[in-house]
Structure 1
């Protein structure tokens, strides 16, 4: 365990440059004192690692030093082939590079492990596109990836729910979620999210920008998702569900499923339960609850109950003849 940590510290310093003792301790979930001992052992073994003191100090390797550690455990090698990212890599314009990297990795593995790694790649596959959907139009994705890598400003024509607008952006990262690609970029102020398939035109400006040093794409995305999901719902509805209705909850949004199950009362004599669900708007909630047919009854709010009655009356009039 400790030997593995020493190797990992060496590789981290090689990849990231200077790192503080606190950052290393957080990375490996150990104490700062343990990191100091590890650095001393690395230095004693001949690794040219040194410390800079002060507020901006930390540990780093001597300029020009690189390690040629090529040993990989079987699990590490197999996990790389398990990633299954050929589709996204191709969309980013990296299909040839990904294939070349796989070939080199196979060549570097011991012969006894090559068959295992190839078998993993042949038996597991990632398909990020949802059922009954085709992949989005990603014509601009390779250009966006190049702009992200090169920290280059772009001009786009973007179509949103409010119309089409021209914007100049500093692209910070790309995210693939549920089969849809999103661009995270700064316009005039804070980072915002743009669907890649809603971009109608793109032009590279040739102008570089400085990435915010404290920007973390994964942290930003997680916070954005939480904020977006919270902003969708503006109220709750109280409903009754039959036993079959409870079984068919999966047709609703994940937030509605979770709240309904968490708030469900004890079943009555007929097996029906009272529960609550979050709602975006009266119209949207009515459309969603129609998926449950006669296995649901809205109790509150009155506006939603009236909307369901109106839809039922319209259906009865249409099919009454």
Structure 2
């Protein structure tokens, strides 16, 4: 562990030229005292490293000296995909490996390309979770990733839409979608894989049972899965009226399919600016919740069941906020 930290210290100085002890401590996640000890060890090993006092001081390497220890280990090469995704890498338990990998890649670049990489890093940032979520933390994500890598079965207790179930799974891969992790896995008694949201795993036990992973193209399978999911998502439709404000807010609260349906089917606005359109809906329950977010800026014309359900909710809300005056 210390050898890795010493190498990281060298690579940081090689990449940035000059860094203070405090900056090195922050980047290496150690104390300043530890940095001092590490610098003394590097001096003793003959590394041409020296410190400069003063406000603009810090540690630096002698001009022109570069370490040749920038080759990738097998583990770092395996994690190369996550070099630009620090959030998912940390969730999978790969944070320290990816940090060292980034340092090695940065140190191996010639100065013009290294400067360009620094500018790109400061101008483009990937933040996968949504605005109202910090991601999809799960205590079993790292164990699921290990099982995927080793091609070993796992036993999970899982919260499905029908209740808790226990399954033995053969995990083929992990997918990060919209800030949520999914494991794509088959069951020993079924050939077709399915998706399981990792955050819904209540317990996971690694099994010492390897399985033969078939030729499986995870990206292609996932793309087909998403297409099929979206095709089966909207099984019915509703006719609605939207106010001008409701049509604007629709783009914030509704799916792309609903917004596209309004744009395609909306007739000319009436005297008050309202338009009539036909939109796809997943179910009465989902449509009820989604359309309530538009408040009085939308009116459901059909189906009658959805219209009645929204009317009941509106009546209950009116009674809640404007109770009848007591006599």
TM-score by length of 2: 0.69
Counterparts of residues 13-162 of structure 1 (less than 5 Å): 84-162=84-162
Q: Partner of 1:267 in structure 2?
A: 269
Task: Quote how far apart the aligned CAs of 1:81 are.
Answer: 11
Contact 2:159 / 2:200 at 8 angstroms: preserved in 1?
Answer: yes
**Selected match of 1:194 from 193, 196, 213:** 196
Q: Is the 8 A contact 1:241 1:297 kept in 2?
A: yes
Distance (whole Å) between structure 2 residues aligned to residue 82 and residue 209 of structure 1: 26
**Are the aligned partners of 2:138 and 2:199 in contact in 1 as well (CA < 8 Å)?**
yes
Structure 1 residues 273 and 294, CA gap change in structure 2 (3 angstroms): same
Q: How far apart, in 1, do the equivalents of 2:163 and 2:155 lie? A: 17
Q: Counterpart of 2:321?
A: 319
How far is the alpha carbon of 1:239 from its aligned partner? 0.5
Gaps of 5+ in 1: 1-79
* Structure 1 residues 82 and 95: alpha-carbon distance in aligned structure 2, compared to 1, 3 A threshold: closer
Aligned-pair RMSD on alpha carbons? 1.9
> Residue 171 of structure 1 aligns to a residue in which SS?
strand
2:246 paired residue number: 245
Shift of 1:279: 1.4
C-alpha distance in structure 2 between counterparts of 1:81 and 1:139, whole Å: 22
2:153–2:170 contact (8 Å) kept in structure 1: yes
Matches within 5 A, 1:266-305: 266-305=268-307
Q: 1:281 Cα shift?
A: 2.2
Q: Tell me the SS of whatever aligns to 2:294.
A: helix
Q: Is the Cα contact below 8 Å between 1:81 and 1:121 reproduced in 2? A: no
Deviation at 1:82, TM superposition (A): 11
1:240 offset after TM fit, Å? Answer: 0.8
Query: Which is worse superposed, 148-157 or 128-137?
Result: 128-137
Q: Secondary structure at the match of 1:102?
A: helix
Task: Provide the rounded CA distance (Å) in 2 between the counterparts of 1:98 and 1:318.
Answer: 54
Distance in 2 between residues matched to 1:261 and 1:83, nearest whole Å: 40
Deviation (angstroms), 1:182: 0.5
Displacement of 1:144 in angstroms is 1.3
2: CA distance, partners of 1:283 / 1:264: 24
Q: Counterpart in 2 of 1:224?
A: 225
CA 319–107 in structure 1, closer or farther in 2 if over 3 Å, else same? closer
Three-state SS of the structure 2 residue aligned to 1:289 is: helix
**Structure 1 length-normalised TM:** 0.70
CA contact (8 A) 1:245 1:292 kept: yes
Question: What SS does the aligned partner of 1:137 have?
Answer: coil
Moved over 4 A (4+): 80-83
Q: Is the contact between residue 240 and residue 274 of structure 1 (CA under 8 Å) also seen in structure 2?
A: yes
Distance 1:137 1:104 in 2: 29
Aligned match for 1:208, one of 203, 207, 210: 210
